[in-house]
């Protein structure tokens, strides 16, 4: 596959099930790393006006909770407009989610989610089948084991998705730090270092 850089005018960010109860199951990366990177992606969307879709599942279950506080604080409007799913593991099986993603009018999706081999996997495969270019932010995602992540990322690559990091996404989208947008993106990235 020939390399095609990400561009802000074609890209939306999608955050799937970054909830305390799901994060508690993650062992492939430290919880602080996943939280920080997911919040950084949320902040990037909010501060650089990239379309941002946030979704959660079964918030009515107390042990799962709503989206992480750090995501709420980074992108309060997107959080307020989040898609509340009733239990579909595949976010694309929820019509409201499908509509929210379509409403971004972007054909490239940067997706991060928990758990990597469950909700993220199903959602990414469906996004690719729907014709989206998908880039998975691996360090804002995670599952129970490192092996689970490794196997899932191999399967996602085979399905047509790309795998990157949060910093990789930021500085691919905004590769010229002499521009106003580049400096703002650098500020978002620098802020993530301050809390890491």
Contacts of 118 (CB under 8 A, 6+ apart): 89, 143
Q: Active-site residue 119, yes or no? A: yes
Q: Report d(CA 180, CA 108) in Å as an integer.
A: 23
Label the pairing between strands 108-113 and 52-57. Answer: unpaired
What is each CA distance from 102 to 109, 132, 183, 188, in whole angstroms? Answer: 11, 10, 29, 26
In DSSP notation, 44-80 reads HHHHTT--EEEEEE-TTSTTT-SS-HHHHHH-HHHHH
Residue 136 belongs to what H/E stretch?
strand 133-137
Out of 39, 52, 100, 119, pick the active-site residue.
Answer: 119
Which residue numbers are catalytic? 119
């Amino acid at each position: 596959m020939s390399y095609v850089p990400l561009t802000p005018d074609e890209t939306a960010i999608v955050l799937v099930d970054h909830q305390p109860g799901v994060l508690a199951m993650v062992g492939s990366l430290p919880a602080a790393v996943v939280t920080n990177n997911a919040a950084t992606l949320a902040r990037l969307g909010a501060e650089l006006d990239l379309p941002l879709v946030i979704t959660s599942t079964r918030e009515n279950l107390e042990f799962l909770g709503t989206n992480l506080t750090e995501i709420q604080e980074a992108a309060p409007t997107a959080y307020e407009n989040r898609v509340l799913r009733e239990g579909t593991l595949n976010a694309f099986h929820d019509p409201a989610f499908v509509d929210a993603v379509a409403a971004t009018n972007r054909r490239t999706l940067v997706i991060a989610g928990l758990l990597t081999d469950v909700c993220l996997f199903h959602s990414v495969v469906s996004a690719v089948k729907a014709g989206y270019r998908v880039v998975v932010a691996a360090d804002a995602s995670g599952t129970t084991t490192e092996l689970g992540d490794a196997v899932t990322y191999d399967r996602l690559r085979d399905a047509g998705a790309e795998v990157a990091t949060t910093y990789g996404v930021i500085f691919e989208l905004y590769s010229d730090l002499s521009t106003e947008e580049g400096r703002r993106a650098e500020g978002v990235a620098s802020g993530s270092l301050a809390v890491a």
